[in-house]
Every structure is written in C-alpha cells, then in structure tokens.
Amino acid sequence: MKGAVLGIDTSCYTTSVACFGSSGVLYDGRTVLPVQRGDRGLRQSEGVFLHTRQLPPLVEEAFSAVSPADVAAVACSRSPVDREDSYMPVFLTGLGVARALAASLQVPLCSLDHQSGHIRAALIGNEGLMEKPFYAVHLSGGTTDLLSVQRKAPGAFAMEPLGRSEDLHAGQLVDRVGVLLKCGFPSGKEMEALARQATARDVRIPSSVRGLTCSLSGAETAARRALDEGRPAAEVAYGIYDLLARTLTKLLTNAARQQGERPVLLCGGVASSLLLRELLRARCALPLFFGESRYSSDNAVGIAALGFDREVAL
C-alpha cells in the first residue's frame, strides 16, 4: 500500500528532499548551497544552477530509503509564502523536478509554499497546537513574520499576517553582522558560538517596535558602531541575539494585547538558535513552542509532512 510522500524544497541556500509516512520522517537529505567566505549571499541564477546540480543525488538517495512504489504523492515548495505575488526563481527548480516525478509515478502533486513547510516542520512534536489558533513567528533570511495560524483542513493552514519587519529580516541581520565579525555565511552557528564566548553582556542595541511592526536596519548600524568603539566581537554577537529576543518579546506582547493570548510557535532557521530560545523564554510571558532544531533550518520535511496530511492521512 502506498503510504509515503516525497517532499522537495529548493530555497535560497539549501537543496532538500524528504520522505514522510505514518511513522514520521523516513528520509531527510539536504545539501547547503556553497557561499564563498566573506560573501553575503548568492544571486538567484547561482542558486538555480546549484539546485539543478544538487537535487538529483538527493532524489536518488531518497529512493534508496523509500521505494518509488510506496510513494503516494509528491509535494514541493512553489513559492516563499502563500500569496499570488510571491515568487523566487530558485523554487522553480524543485517544482520542475516534482512535476516530472509525480507524472512518472502517476501520483498527485501537492504544490505548497515554503513558509507553510516551516510551520509544519516545527509542529513535529508540537501537534497539539493545531487544535486551536496559535501565533507563529517565522524567522529566516527572507522573513520576520508574525502570523495568526489555524488549521482549516488536513494539510492546509489559514494564516493571517499580523506583523513583520519593515526592512531587514532577522536572518539578514544575523548574516550581515556575522560576516562583519568574520563568520561564514550563513552565519547563525558561528555567530551563536561567538556570542556564547562573551564575558560581558552589556552591549545594548536599541530595539525598534511600533505595534506589530519592527525595524532591524538600525541594529546593523549599532553593531558596526559598537565594533568601531572597540567592543569585542563576542559581545557584539551576544548583543544581536539580545536585541532579537527583546524585539520579539515586544511584538508578541503587543499581539497578545490586541488579539488575545495564544501559544506561540517559533520556526525558521533563526529560531534554531538555542541562545535565542533561552533569551526568549527568560523574557516572554506567553507559552513558547519551538520545533526540533534540526527541523528549523530550511528543509523538505515540513513540505513532505503537509503532503502526507493532505493526500494520505485523511
């Protein structure tokens, strides 16, 4: 009996393929897109080329773990978020391969959005949240979004945007300051390791929040100023995570006042930071839930799980 869903996600910096079934994650393969040290990212054309090269070996590995005869559907990310105007060329690579696989296997194709995949991946182990509305905070290089989320059908969420950053996103801030501090790109892991070396934790970067909107561009300027003033790199790195925790706490507190208190699910690559989790738990009064760190960075697990919810677990 067919009971697995093959998921594909080709985001800006990770090629990923996953299989999900009734017993959970059956396969999880990822290859990070290489970025030269000192650079602050890739052009979309470079990402498309790298996905084209990196995706076939991951599909072959997936079919070594799960027989093609057991695949009930193919799911993929088609866009960054669930909006008609949401588009990035890198997602076309995965969509094209997914269409070809679905046609070859004669199974349904589930075309989804990258953000919903992140939320579903973070719900692994937190499935009880889906019973009632909750807040989701998606923190990555392309999003700093506060959403009201409610499951409307198997494999589908009703998501209402409530707030966001009006300039830099959380992941962009971490990466830009990280490169400034001589970390690699993406900078999250090295930045956090550096921040934990801070002997003083008094670099106070101003937080800019108005209602449910925040601004993070000033934080990059403040970090540069602190370095120019001679503050150690580790202390500046810690100041960035402290700034993010204070900013998110203000946003969530304002959301609770306006919309009512709800549990909060944090997802996306920046939310995988254990330091950020510690700082948020110490500050925020709302109940906080985090996905497993391995499912917080870009991956196809959430996409495969959504496809399974929609096509198999009915």
What's the pLDDT at 154? 84
Please write the tens of the pLDDT for every residue from 235-267.
Answer: 999 999 999 999 999 999 999 999 999 999 999
pLDDT at residue number 155: 83
Cis preceding linkage at 56, omega within 30:
no
Give the per-residue pLDDT at 37.
79
Kindly tell me if the per-residue pLDDT of 124 is higher than 90.
yes
| Residues forming beta bridges with residue 8, ordered by sequence position | 17, 76
| pLDDT on residue 38 | 73
Local confidence band at 54 (pLDDT 50, 70, 90 cut-offs): very high
pLDDT tens digits for 258-314? 999 999 999 999 999 999 999 999 999 999 999 998 999 899 999 999 999 998 876
Measured in residues, the chain has a length of 314
- pLDDT tens readout for residues 138-179: 999 889 999 999 988 888 889 999 999 999 999 999 999 999
Which domains does the chain possess? 4-125+296-311 (3.30.420.40), 163-290 (3.30.420.40)
Q: Are 156 and 110 in contact (CB under 8 A)?
A: no
CA distance 21 to 147: 28
pTM here? 0.93
Contact 310, 110 (CB under 8 A): yes
Average pLDDT for 25-32? 96
Q: Are 116 and 82 in contact (CB under 8 A)?
A: yes
pLDDT single digits (tens) 180-194: 999 998 899 999 999
Is residue 40 over pLDDT 80?
no
Given a cut of 70, is residue 1 above it in pLDDT? no
Q: Percentage of residues in the chain with pLDDT exceeding 70?
A: 99
**Mean pLDDT, the chain, integer:** 94
- Would you report the helix, strand and coil content of the chain in percent, each value rounded to 5? 45, 25, 30
First to last CA, the chain: 15
- pLDDT above 90 coverage of the chain, percent: 87
Q: CA geometry: angle at 280 spanning 294 and 286, to 5°?
A: 105
Q: What is the pLDDT of residues 56-111, one digit of tens each?
A: 999 999 999 999 999 999 999 999 988 888 899 999 999 999 999 999 999 999 99
38 half-sphere exposure, CB direction, 13 A CA radius: 0
Q: Which residues contact 222 (CB under 8 A, 6 or more apart)?
A: 205, 206
Find the angle CA(235)-CA(236)-CA(242) to the nearest 5 degrees: 90
